[in-house]
Structure 1
Amino acid sequence: MKRMVVGAALLAAAPFAAQAQSLQPGGVYVGLEGGLNWIFNSSFNSTATVAPFFTGSFQTNASWNTGYVLGGVVGYDFLGPRIELEGAYRANNGNITFGGTPGSAGIVFQQINVMGNIYYDFMAGNALVPYIGAGAGAAFLNAGALGVSVNSTQFAYQAMVGVGYNLDSTFRINLEGRYMGTTTPNFVHTGTASGFGYSITTSPSNNNISAMLSLHMKFGAAPPPPPPPPPVVTPPSFMVFFDWDRSNLSQQALTTIGQAAAAFKSKGNARITATGHTDTSGPEAYNMALSLRRANAVKDALVRNGVPAQAISVIGMGEKGLLVQTADGVREPQNRRVEIVIQ
C-alpha cells in the first residue's frame, strides 16, 4: 500500500518537476540592473595642513540626496548556487558643512564597483525564486566639491536579498535590496595658496543601501520539449479459433462473435474485416480455401447478430500470417483462427 501511495505522489509531482526544470535550465546568463541608491549621512574629521605653519582638524558633515545605480552582470547558474561578475555605477548629490563654519557646499559622489558575487536561489526552477547573496571586489571612488575632484580606490563588499520571477526558460526579472560598503577612503587634495602649499585630507565612511530591479537573459536554454505524440489507437479486435480441418463455430466462438457485433454497434459507423487463417498441415491451396470458409462462417454469424453484410470484408490468408511459427505439416490450434478487426 505504501508503495502505491509513494508512486501516486511521484506521478502527481512529475508535471511540476518538468515545469521547474523548463523554467530554470541553468547555464550562462547576462543581465542589466538599475535602481535607487541611498548613502548614509555621516560626520567625519578632516585635516588641513599649511606647511610649515599650521595643521588642524575640523568636523565635516555630509548629507546625501537619493541617487541612482546602473550596472550589468554576467553569471553562471548552477540551479541553486549562482556566481556573477558585476560592474555597477552609483552617483549621489549632497551637501557638506565644515565644523562651525556657516553655510554649506554641494558635493557629487560617484562610485564604480567591480564585484564578484555568489548567490543562492531557494526553490530554484520555480516561477518565484527567493534568493540571498554576497559579494566583494573593488570600488573606484570620486568626490567633487568646491571645484575640487579627488579619487580613491577601496575594497568593497556587499550583501543582497531578493526575489526572482522566471518569465520562461530564457528571461528572469529580480527585485533586490542591497547593502554595499567600502573600507574608509582617504581623499587628499593638495594645492598652493599665496605661495604656500597646503593639503586637505578627508576620511568619510561609505555605506550604501540600494533598491534594484534587474533582467536576466539565459543562453543555451533548452527549447521546450515537443508535445507528446498522440496515443496510438489500436482498433478493437477479436479472435475465433477452430478445430482441425473445420469451419463450423463452437459455442465459445459464437460468444466471441456476439461481443464483436456489440462492439461494432457501439462505434456507430465502422467496418469489420474478418481474416481467416489455417495451420501448416495440408496442401496450401486447400488451406487457402479453408481459411475463406472460416472467414465467411464468421461473417454469417456477424450478420445474424445484426451487423450489415456490406460492412464486413472477408479475407483468406491460408497458411500466411501464422500466430505461432511452426514447420510445415504441424497442427497448431493457435493458427486455426479468424481475426475480427473493427475500424
Structure 2
Amino acid sequence: MKSRLLIAAATTALMAIPSLATAHDESGWYLRGNAGYGVHTDIELSGGLDTTAGDASGLNSKGDVAISLGLGYNLGNSWRLELDGSLLNTDLGSISGVQDTTSGFRSKSMMINAIHNFDTNSRFEPYLGAGIGLVQANAKFTANDYGNAASPTVNAVCDGSRSTIAGGQSCSLDATDTAFGYQLLAGLGYEITENIKWDTQYRYLDSHGMDFNGVRVANTNNTITSLAVEASNVGAHSVMTGFRYLFGHKHEPEAPPPPPAPVPDYQCWDGSMTFNAGECPAKPIPKQTCWDGSIIPETSTCPVRPTYTCWDDSVVYDEANCPAQVFSEAKNNMSELCSINSHQEVIYYDFDEHESQDTVNAITKIADIGQYCNIGKVSVVGHTDTSGPTAYNLKLSKHRASNTKAELISRGISEDSITSDGRGETELAVETANGVKEKMNRRTEVLVSLSALGVNN
C-alpha cells in the first residue's frame, strides 16, 4: 500500500513538470546530501522460505529513514553526472501473517546517475534522471515451528519437504547478496544562494532478484541443514530532501538592459527631427537667375547688363527694341514732334525702390515738350520685376506710379489729365522666371498724348 502511494505521488509530480527549455548552468563539481522516508517493495520469497504460505500476504515493508549521498559534476549544458550512494533499512514484519516469523531488509546501492535539469527562468529547477550500478542487500528472516514442544505445529513458511518432527525446527537466514540494479529519479532544486541549492527528490530502485543462504536447525538434536532462498521483486521507493553544494559556482552578472533609444526633439528648418541644430541638413541658399542665364545667391548682384540709348533717349538692352522713328529729325523739329500724337518716357528703378534719379529727367523732358506742344491725356503705369510676393509687387508698382504723378503735377501738368495705375509683375518688358531681379521690368511708363498748340486731343 505504501509503495503504491509513493508511486502515485511521484507520477503526479512528473506530470506537473511543464515542457521547459534547457538550462545553461555553469559547470563545476558539487556535493549532495539527502535524507527522507523510504519503503522496500513487496519482496517475494521462494525456495527454503515461501511467502505464498499462510495467508499469502507476503512481506510488507514498514517505512524507515532513507539516506543518500552524491558527488557530481555539472557539465554546463543542462546535464549532470553523479556518483550516488544510498541506504535503506526497513522491518518487513511477519512473513505472510504466519506465527513465529520475522523479517528485515537492508539495502545499499552505488549508482552512476545521469540527470537532466530544466530551466524555468526562476530559482526553481526541476530535473529527471536515471542511474545504473550495484545493489547490495542484507536479509534477515526467521520461521520457527510453534505450539506444543513435543508435537509442534510446522511453520508453513519453512515447511519444505519435511514432515512433522518431534521437537520441531527453526529456519533462519542472515545473509548478503549483490546484484546489478537501476534507479529512476525526479526532483526539484531551489537556489538558496549561488552555491547552495535545496534538493528534493523521489527515486525508484530496482534490482530484480537476489539469492540468500540460511540454515534449518532441528530443535531436538541441533542438526543443521542448508537453506537456499530466492528473493524476487527487490526494490525500493523513497522521497528525500537535502542540499546540494556547488563548488566555486558563480552566476555571471546579468547584463543591464539597454537604455531606451534617444528620441530626437529638435525640429530643423525642413521639418526633420534631430538632437540639436548642428545635426540639421544645410539650408539651401535662395537663388536667382540673372539676365545672362547665370544662377547666383539671392543676396548677390547680377552682372551689369549692357544697355542701348535710343533716339528718344529711352534705354533698352537691344537696339531692335527702340521705338520706330516716324518723323525726320524729330529732335530738332518740335512741330513735327507734336504731330506724332504721343510721346513716352520710361523711368527705371533700383531693386525695391519707388523713387528714381531718372524721374526728374523724364518729367523735365515732358515739361519741355509742353512748351511746344499741347499736352493732352497723360497715362502713368508702374511695373515691377518678378522678385518678391505678387501682392507686394502690385503695391510697389502703384507707389512708383503715384510718385511719378506727383512729379508731373509739380511741373504744371493738370492733375485732371493724369491717370495713375500699377500693374505689378503682370506686364514684363523682359520675360523672366518667377523670382528674378530684372531692372528692365522695374519701371514706370509715362505716355503723353500730344498735339500742336491750339489743337486739343
TM-score by length of 2: 0.40
* CA distance 1:140–1:102, shift in 2 (3 Å): closer
**Residues 72 and 180 from structure 1, CA distance in 2 versus in 1: closer, same or farther, beyond 3 angstroms?**
same
Greater RCO structure (CA 8 Å; 6+ sep): 1
Q: Deviations over 1:163-211 (max 9, x none)?
A: 1111121001122111101130111113654364412222222121111
1:66 is aligned to 2:63: yes
**Cα offset, 1:145, TM superposition:** 2.9
For residue 163 of structure 1, what is the aligned residue in structure 2?
A: 188
* Cross-structure match for 1:32: 33
Flag the 1:74–1:124 CA change in 2: closer, same or farther, 3 A.
Answer: farther
Q: Deviation per CA, 1:84-105, whole angstroms, max 9, x where unpaired?
A: 001111111122326xx84152
Q: Which runs of 4+ in 1 moved over 6 A?
A: none
Deviations 1:69-117 (Å, cap 9, x if unpaired)?
112110001230000001111111122326xx84152322111111111
CA distance in structure 1 between the aligned counterparts of 2:51 and 2:255, rounded to whole angstroms:
75
Matches within 5 A, 1:313-328: none
Which of the numbers 73, 76, 80 marks the counterpart of 1:76? Answer: 73
Say whether residues 1:113 and 2:109 are aligned partners: yes
Pair 1:177-2:173 in alignment = no
Match runs of 1:94-109 below 5 Å: 94-97=92-95, 102-109=98-105
Higher mean C-alpha displacement, 119-128 vs 156-165 = 119-128
Alignment partner of 1:220: what SS?
coil
Q: Tell me the SS of whatever aligns to 1:221.
A: coil
Residues 58/25 of structure 1: CA separation in 2 closer, same or farther (3 Å cut): closer
Give, in whole Å, the separation in 1 of the partners of 2:192 and 2:183: 27
2:150 is matched with: none
Per-residue CA distance 1:45-90 (angstroms, 9 max, x = gap): 2337xxxxxxx99647211111221121100012300000011111
Structure of greater Rg? 2
1:85 alignment counterpart: 83
- Quote how far apart the aligned CAs of 1:151 are: 0.8
Contact 1:47 1:58 in 2 (8 A): no
Task: List aligned pairs for 1:156-305, cutoff 5 A.
Answer: 156-190=181-215, 193=218, 194=221, 196-204=223-231, 205-222=233-250
C-alpha contact 2:208 2:235 (8 A) present in aligned 1: no
1:176–1:219: structure 2 CA closer, same or farther, 3 Å change rule? same
User: SS at the partner of 1:133?
Assistant: strand
Paired residue secondary structure (1:185): strand
> What amino acid is aligned across from residue 216 of structure 1 in structure 2?
R
Letter in 2 for 1:149: D
Structure 2: gaps spanning 5 or more residues: 1-22, 143-171, 257-276, 279-457
In structure 2, what residue type is equivalent to 1:89?
Answer: L
Return the structure number with greater strand share. Answer: 1
2:95 and 2:102 in contact (8 A); partners too? no
Match of 1:245 in 2: none
Question: Closer, same or farther in 2 for the Cα pair 1:159/1:103, shift >3 Å?
Answer: same
Whole-angstrom distance in 2 between the partners of 1:76 and 1:124:
21
Give how far 1:223 is off: 7.1
Letter of the 2:192 partner, please give it.
Answer: L
| 1:120–1:104 distance in 2 versus 1, CA, 3 Å | farther
CA RMSD after TM alignment: 3.1
Identity of aligned residues (%): 20
Which 5+ residue runs of structure 1 have no aligned equivalent? Answer: 1-19, 49-55, 229-254, 257-343
Residue number in structure 2 paired with 1:46: 47
